[in-house]
Amino acid sequence: MKNIISFIAIIFIGSATLLAQKVNVSAHTERVNEERIEGFKSKIDGDVDDIISQWTKHLRSLGKYRAKGTYSAVVNFSIDNILFEDSTIYATVSSDESSATVWMGSKMESTDEYSVSEYLKSSVYNFSKRYYMSVVQRQIDEAERAVQITNRRHQRLVKDSVEYVYKRNSSKNEIVRFKQLIEKNELEIIVLDEKLIVNKNERDSVLVEVGRMKKIVDQHKKRKNLIE
């Protein structure tokens, strides 16, 4: 039970930390193939490998994804329902032990029909927000599983309690029954002791009577022998 409580405490501590997180997207120029490309970046705290994996999935969802050494490229993407087949979105990710910084940029220019800047900023922001939310959701799922485990344990304990009460009451009833049986046997012993005393007195009396009757028989026999 202590392990389960500790597990839940760890989950809630982690959740509290993530709730303090805020998505911060800022303009940033990155050098790609010796060119300075404007874009937006976001620093994300969390499991670095997981962030990189989710970032790659996010880029693949935008269009045709290609990994090119220190950066990635996406073509065939859409902005405001306009498909761009010849333009490119560039993306990078850098990391330390506890965070990763994702960046997305493009050489495209905005027009009246679409805003490249808004698209890039929104894409980085939405990814960062979804990542934090996915991490929190996983912790929620883990916490709910821990609650379910604890509830099942509680139900087992309630069931055990009912069984223990039943056995305890049965044992108490047995004790009462045995006490009553003992009292009954003790009374029966007293009655039998009294009957044994009466029986002994009667046996002694009958034995005396037998002796007297034998004497009478002997006297009759003697009388018979005296008859000529």
E-strand stretches of 80-227:
82-84, 89-95, 99-106
Confidence (pLDDT) at 222: 85
Answer yes or no: is pLDDT of 18 > 50: no
Mean pLDDT of 60-82: 93
Indicate the range of 6-10, 54-58, 77-81, 177-181 predicted with least confidence.
6-10
Distance CA 56, CA 100 (A): 13
Tokens of 207: 């034995």
Confidence (pLDDT) at 6: 54
| Domains identified in the chain and CATH numbers | 2-143 (3.30.310)
Answer yes or no: is pLDDT of 15 > 90: no
- Angle of helix 48-62 relative to helix 116-225, nearest 10 degrees, comes to 120
Backbone angles phi, psi at 101, to 5 degrees: -110, 120
Mean pLDDT of the chain: 90
The model's pTM is 0.68
Confidence (pLDDT) at 217: 85
Answer yes or no: is pLDDT of 227 > 90: no
